[in-house]
Chain A
Amino acid sequence: MITASLNSYLVVSALLFVFGFIGVLLRKNTLVIFMCLELMLLASTLALVAFSRFNATLDGNVFVFFILTIAAAEVAVGLAIIVALFRKRHTVQVEELNHLKN
């Protein structure tokens, strides 16, 4: 039984996305930026599931399966890149990773 409206789910999803967005812009640690990216992905996932339930289809839910798979693969590759970067530069702070600038 569903009592909360689709609008409230969408507002929660939007707020979650905004938190992730602000985190990506404000934080300096690459790992935390990556976590905030995950938050944004989760927000879009919530919107998909809500739309799918309120329209009584299964397509959105199946799509969320794929999103979760892609997110897992993305995290694995991204963290491997961060580790490789740390080996070379000995830092994960974004303001020190400016070797392409000059």
Chain B
Amino acid sequence: MADTLFIVFSVLTLACAALVVVNKNAVNAAMFLLLALVGMAGLFVLLEAPLLAFVLILVYAGAVVALFLFIVMLLDTKGTTAKLNKLTVAASGIGGLLLFLGVSLIARRSHLSAPVTGVAMPTFKNYAEQLFTVYLLPVQVVGFLLLISMIGVIVLSKKFKTEEETK
């Protein structure tokens, strides 16, 4: 049962990811990114991390893809049909093939651990315990980083007037 679900979700994720890459229209690409995220959330649930699936849907599908769509529609870029450089195509094909071969060889040859059974599914309490004890400093740093990025975005998108304009 779970195996079928694994195949369904991984095929959904991979097919939508491929469609993000080959789609001419940026809006359609964002929509396929959304579908790929849904498949990814399904894989997270299969890996017994439903909280992460929640967060993925909330943060990525809710905020990031919406932001992408907003910017794509704001900028209204025309889909140009620029010709692809043959060298680039060959290089990316070979690079991608090598990457995939390397990872799959490692995955096949090494003795990876079998799933540890009899472990309770992590709950909110477990996460909170980790976040507020072992990872307390990183949580603070990440919060500060969010503040920095917020200020950065405001500075980037504000139009500063030059001296002559204010006079």
Q: How many residues of B contact A (CB 8 A)?
A: 82
Residue contact B26 to A32, C-beta cutoff 8 Å: yes
Interface residue A4 (Cβ < 8 Å from any Cβ of B): yes
Contact B93 A22 (CB under 8 A): yes
Cα distance A63–B97 in the bound complex, in angstroms? 28
Chain A interface helix/strand/loop/mixed: helix
A32, B80: Cα distance in complex, Å: 13
Tell whether, in the assembled complex, residue A35 and residue B14 are in contact, meaning their CB atoms are under 8 Å apart.
no
Contacts from A to B (Cβ < 8 Å): 1-23, 25-29, 31-32, 34-36, 38-39, 42, 45-46, 49-50, 52-56, 58-59, 61-62, 64-66, 68-77, 79-84, 86, 91-93, 95
A sample of 18 cross-chain residue pairs with beta-carbon separation below 8 angstroms, ordered by A number, consists of: A2-B115, A3-B3, A5-B112, A8-B6, A15-B14, A18-B96, A18-B97, A25-B92, A28-B82, A31-B71, A38-B64, A54-B113, A56-B116, A61-B49, A72-B146, A75-B67, A75-B68, A84-B156
